[in-house]
A and B are shown apart, each in its own frame.
Chain A
């Protein structure tokens, strides 16, 4: 299936709608579930944009995050009405400022969509011949950017250690 601009825009509009609903919904359950919807549409977008590895990872991560958040809010599903109006106006002003700048200087900030200049990636793309690895993304993650992956593993280890420390059932024994 090839990608064209209207399909991309429609999918992104659906995803933006999911995001808006998940922020403005009153019930916490519908908020979390619409966030999951947006994440699944995001994985379809990744698939269409030529990134099947990331689509698979996104589906997996989305479902795990949904389970974690749903098991968090099973304690309370009371309606959430609270928000602070001042900050909403502030966000709207920042967005308007961004739109204003982007309208006039967008061509200097980013390249037009679909016409990137691939400099470093071209060397990585030649890697299948170099490393005998068919998947260029895997070659990038595990070989060219191996230090980044090491840092990622460190961050994940730290976060999981934090979760275990926070959620342990037993406290100290010497009390």
Chain B
């Protein structure tokens, strides 16, 4: 159970970064950390003790493999989610670059002024 509490601690650290920080880079880092925590939660939910990776080599009998391998379904979902996180972070970084070119700062309070 302690692993789930640690994952929750990580998640709420990222959430704090998203809602309390005023710097755009800190917000992007917070979004990334929330993504880490949720990915790790999925993998932890699929793990079984003494589990082996879900890759069948020739010297493993199929019945032993089905009994011992960890759940491949969360792994497939996380594989998708990680790549989407990267695309999302790249998009947010592009937005931050454009905001910096216009306002000269990453601070949300100074960006709030309307300009142009």
- Decide if A54 touches B82 in the complex (CB within 8 Å): yes
Q: How far is the CB of A47 from chain B (nearest CB, A)?
A: 9
- Decide if A102 touches B8 in the complex (CB within 8 Å): yes
- Decide if B76 touches A51 in the complex (CB within 8 Å): no
Known: A49-B70, A125-B66, A148-B77. 4 other contacts (CB 8 A): A12-B3, A46-B43, A102-B5, A163-B90
With both beta carbons as reference points, the residue of chain A lying nearest to B104 in the complex is identified as: A76
A125 to B56 Cα, complex, angstroms = 9
- Decide if B12 touches A160 in the complex (CB within 8 Å): no
CB-CB < 8 A to A19: which residues of B? Answer: 10, 13-14, 33, 36
CB-CB < 8 A to A31: which residues of B? Answer: 25-26, 29
Contact of A125 among B21, B54, B105, B107 (CB under 8 A): B54
Q: Mark A153-175, 1 if CB is under 8 A from B, else 0.
A: 00110011011001100000000
A72 to B95 Cα, complex, angstroms = 10
CB-CB < 8 A to A65: which residues of B? Answer: 32, 85-86, 89-90
Residues of B contacting A: mostly = helix
- Decide if A120 touches B84 in the complex (CB within 8 Å): no
Contact of B57 among A42, A69, A134, A162 (CB under 8 A): A134
Decide: A159 near B90, CB < 8 A? Known: A19-B14, A38-B33, A52-B53.
Answer: yes
Contact of A68 among B16, B75, B80, B90 (CB under 8 A): B90
* Contact count band on B: 35 or more
* Contact count band on A: 35 or more
CB-CB < 8 A to A38: which residues of B? Answer: 33, 36
- Decide if B91 touches A159 in the complex (CB within 8 Å): yes
Contact of B66 among A115, A126, A149, A163 (CB under 8 A): A126
Contact of B91 among A2, A64, A163 (CB under 8 A): A163
- Decide if A91 touches B20 in the complex (CB within 8 Å): yes
- In the A-B complex, the 4 residue pairs with the smallest Cβ-Cβ separation, listed nearest first, are A159-B87, A136-B54, A87-B20, A82-B22
- Decide if B56 touches A134 in the complex (CB within 8 Å): yes
8 contacts between A and B (CB under 8 A): A13-B6, A16-B9, A35-B32, A49-B70, A53-B75, A87-B19, A91-B19, A114-B47
